[in-house]
Amino acid sequence: MNSFTSPLDSSELRELGSVVAKYAQERASRHADDEIEYRRADFEDMAKLGLSGMSLPEKFGGTDFDALSIATALFEISRAEMGPAIYLSVHLMVCKLISSWIEDETHLALLQDMAAGKKLGAFALTEASAGSDASALKTSAISQGDAYLLNGEKIYITSSGQADVYLVFARTSDEGKRGISAFIVPATSEGISFGAKEGKMGCEGSPIASVLFENCRVPQSAMLGKAGDGYKIALSGLNGGRVNIAAAACGVSAHALELATSYAQERKQFGKPISDFQGLQFMLADMAIRLRASIELTRNAAALLDHGTSSNGPASIAKCFATDSAMAITTDAVQIFGGAGYLRDYPVEGLMRDAKMLQIVEGTNQIQRLVISRELLK
Ligand SMILES: Cc1cc2nc3c(=O)[nH]c(=O)nc-3n(C[C@H](O)[C@H](O)[C@H](O)COP(=O)(O)OP(=O)(O)OC[C@H]3O[C@@H](n4cnc5c(N)ncnc54)[C@H](O)[C@@H]3O)c2cc1C
């Protein structure tokens, strides 16, 4: 019921799912629920399994997994604990964008380090006045001699302060979307600094913070693609990122359904397990229906990406449905736990707080609905 892979999948895909599940469950069991935090060692452990290089071709040291395999791995990581699935998903998107847009072997060493888990990547697009409308960004990149000088502030950046390399979107001219360029900025660059970790509702294992650029100096070779390619570069990563978030949503939903099912069988009221009451049986059935539909939409969107679809619809539909379902499923899990569900001592309220984030990141679900309706109406 809760498996991401199907019996029809290749044995390699099912093997990947079970290897990642074993690792992720073992890691999660090492930490109490109130000890969830970002740990660099987790990223290094995931790298030992080849997960940090999943989106990179072998020539860059990666394992060159297709979208369905990546989604399978992220599902299993998130089923145990969502945080590592989120920052790994961002890292994989940054790897993919850099490797797809470099024109020669520049940054080869960087990509090899990212594949090996020696360097963690972050994606720095959002600003105070540029969230859903990313094209409104103001961070500037002025060409000066053999360098660019970056000035501005990014907010809500996953892994800010922890990551070693930032894919930064900045304005090289005033020409709207065409004035945005992308830069590969190491954490050690002169003029870059990081805000304090934000206190957020959930997903403690994946920290966010601001990134500040004050005359941050990077060489001309730090530009990815050409001047003005930045917006296209950012958009080109979105479908993959959305499928990955959908997979993480399926993972947290599967976790919540597992916990709710066992609790319903153990907890007794009116002299019998609460799972004997049809009202709860129907809730569990509805949770299972939403989860199965989320998994199938996510698998379908991943498979279409692997077949080179140019449509944005399937990834947006999967992201929207799977993350709205994760919110509904985790909320129902809290309900099935009753008063215990509302307590920090039990794990389900944390899953509900984690799930909320997924409706906001990689384009809010309102933006996904815009993308879907645009495809319908064009
Ligand atoms: C935990 C977390 C991690 C994040 N990680 C990163 C990261 O690594 N890198 C990065 O660059 N950003 C990151 N973000 C930022 C995230 O991408 C933005 O928060 C998101 O895109 C929404 O932007 P906003 O917060 O400015 O909301 P706004 O754009 O201000 O939206 C506010 C509300 O208005 C709605 N809305 C906006 N425009 C429309 C419209 N046209 N039609 C209908 N409704 C609309 C939105 O759906 C939302 O409900 C992260 C955010 C969080 C919370």
Each residue's pLDDT tens digit, 213-271: 999 999 999 999 999 999 999 999 999 999 999 999 999 999 999 999 999 999 999 99
Query: Quick one: which atom of ligand 1 is closest to the CA of 160?
Result: 8
Mutate to test the pocket of ligand 1, among 87, 93, 126, 244 (most ligand atoms within 8 A of CB): 126
Query: Quick one: which atom of ligand 1 is closest to the CA of 360?
Result: 20
Q: Tell me the CA–centroid distance for residue 179 and ligand 1, in Å.
A: 21
Does ligand 1 come within 6 angstroms of the Cβ of 360?
yes
| Residue 334, pLDDT above cutoff 90 | yes
Does ligand 1 come within 6 angstroms of the Cβ of 129?
no
Both tokens of 228, joined, read 């003005």
Q: How many CA atoms lie within 13 A of 20 on its CB side?
A: 31
Both tokens of 9, joined, read 């999948």
Specify the pLDDT at position 281: 98
Does ligand 1 come within 6 angstroms of the Cβ of 123?
yes
| Residue 32, pLDDT above cutoff 70 | no
Query: Quick one: which atom of ligand 1 is closest to the CA of 362?
Result: 17
Global pTM reads: 0.97
Both tokens of 110, joined, read 């960087």
pLDDT one-digit tens code per residue, 101-139: 998 788 899 999 999 999 999 999 999 999 999 999 999
Q: Give dist(CA 369, CA 181) in Å, integer.
A: 27
Q: Tell me the CA–centroid distance for residue 366 and ligand 1, in Å.
A: 10
Is residue 258 classed as helix, strand or coil in its secondary structure? helix
Percent of the chain with pLDDT over 70: 99
| Residue 6, pLDDT above cutoff 70 | yes
Both tokens of 288, joined, read 């299972």
Tokens 């002169």 locate to 190
Are 114 and 163 contacting, i.e. CB atoms less than 8 angstroms apart?
no
Determine the topology of domain 11-115 in CATH: Butyryl-Coa Dehydrogenase, subunit A; domain 1 (1.10.540)
Considering the four listed CATH numbers 1.10.443.10, 1.20.140.10, 3.10.20.30, 3.40.50.620, the one that applies to the domain covering 235-377 is 1.20.140.10
Please check whether the domain covering 121-231 is classified as CATH 3.90.1150.10.
no
Query: Quick one: which atom of ligand 1 is closest to the CA of 126?
Result: 11
Does ligand 1 come within 6 angstroms of the Cβ of 323?
no
Nearest alpha-carbon partner for 205 in 85, 116, 90: 85
Q: How far is CA 5 from the centre of its chain?
A: 19
Q: What is the DSSP string of 10-32?
A: -HHHHHHHHHHHHHHHHHHHHS-
Where does the pLDDT of residue 30 fall: very low under 50, low under 70, confident under 90, or very high at 90 and above? confident
Percent of the chain with pLDDT over 90: 93
Q: Whose alpha carbon is nearest atom 18 of ligand 1?
A: 131
Q: Where are the domains of the chain?
A: 11-115, 121-231, 235-377
